[in-house]
Amino acid sequence: MSDYEALLLGLVQGLTEFLPVSSSGHLVVYSTLLGVDTGGGLLFEVAVHVATLFAIMIYYRDKIGRLIKGVFTREQASTRYVGKLAVATLPTIVAVIASSQFLEEVLSNPAVAAGGLIVTGAVLWTTRTTLPAAKNNEPTWKAALYIGVAQAFAILPGISRSGSTVAVAMAMGVAPAAAAQFSFLMGIIAISSAAILMIPDLGAASPEALTSIALGSLSALVSGIVAIWLFVFVLRRESFHQFAYYTVTLGLAFGLYVWLA
């Protein structure tokens, strides 16, 4: 992978991480069209995801600070919220540990990514009907578990993590802004856990792969900070379902390309 290609893939990751269009699916699409190896497969994928965590931490720094302070002071609301984040994270941790070899095989599979993008569109379309009743400020314990299951499925390329978790949260009665906040804060735990599992692989990576990972991560960080502001704008318009047109169209077009190639 050239430096330009690493920067481009990082840019794609950063811009698509916070919008409900599947960053992993876009990585597969662009890497396939460019005809490049992402320099380590799952390792590159996790690295650029970690870079976008900093954008989340910057945007939600006040909330994160209150949660940390609340946990240490045993404040009930903060402790409960963090507990729900932990419950929501468990399905993803179990899924990653139980199927790491399977993930390596499907993560860059173009056909899986195409199908996942179409599924994402179907999930996003459901928010048209769930939005009116979505008014709660945080999920229940049961809702947190369901949101976590949605995040676990979003490991597959093409399935949007933000799109699926926010859609499920709204279906469980959580207001859009609160659903997005819970989704992003939950992502910090899940992606950090995945990154820890990848640490041993860093030592085995080639210098060229490490360079690609570093450039891709830098690009993802910068573009991710920009993208989160765009996400807030879209959130205020309450138009998640409109992204279904894009993901379904991209999934069908990419699927056709893969079939004809």
Round to whole Å and give the CA distance between 151 and 127. Answer: 17
Per-residue model confidence (pLDDT) at position 172: 96
Q: Tell me what pLDDT residue 245 has.
A: 95
pLDDT for residue 248: 97
pLDDT in tens, the chain (261 residues): 677 777 887 887 788 878 899 878 887 887 788 776 554 556 676 777 788 888 888 888 999 999 999 999 999 999 999 999 999 989 988 887 777 666 667 777 899 999 999 999 999 999 999 998 999 999 999 999 999 999 999 989 899 999 999 999 999 999 988 999 999 898 787 667 666 666 666 656 666 777 877 888 888 888 888 888 887 777 777 788 889 999 999 999 999 999 987
Tokens of 114: 């195409």
Residues 6+ apart with CB under 8 A from 186: 85, 88, 89, 147, 148, 151, 165
Match 């993590």 to its residue by tokens: 161
What is the reported pLDDT for 135? 92
Q: Structure pTM?
A: 0.84
The amino acid present at 162, given as its one-letter code, is S
Beta strand extents in the chain (DSSP E only): none
